[in-house]
Amino acid sequence: MGDAELEKSRARYGLLAVVISNLAIAGVAIFGVWRLGGDRSVIVGVLTAAFTAVSSMTTAYLGIKAVSNTAKSIALGEGAARQQQQPAPAPAATPAAPAAPPAQRTSEAP
């Protein structure tokens, strides 16, 4: 199994784990709301906790995946290749030689 296939498998199964976890959280929240029988303050608390857990799990997975992809691209040298493709900054212009000082005036009239 090559590196590309391994990365695809990791991404696929990681996403599958997140989706299954989110569905389990949603299932428990729905069951909890159904069993509470109408106490609105407790229902709001259960739904808030479920939403927080789902959003935290999904955000953590996406953040870890993004950092992993960035680290891999840097390790493989793609960052260096991109830097080489960018044009080098123009060298700073060398200062011109100072102009000759102005001639002195004399008080004699021509």
Higher per-residue pLDDT: 46 or 78: 46
The structure's pTM equals 0.60
Rounded Cα gap, residues 36 and 44, in angstroms: 11
Rounded Cα gap, residues 58 and 50, in angstroms: 12
pLDDT tens digits, one per residue of 76-94: 886 566 656 666 666 666 6
Contacts of residue 36, defined as CB under 8 A and 6 or more positions apart, other chains included, come to 42, 43, 46
Q: Which pLDDT score is estimated for 97?
A: 65
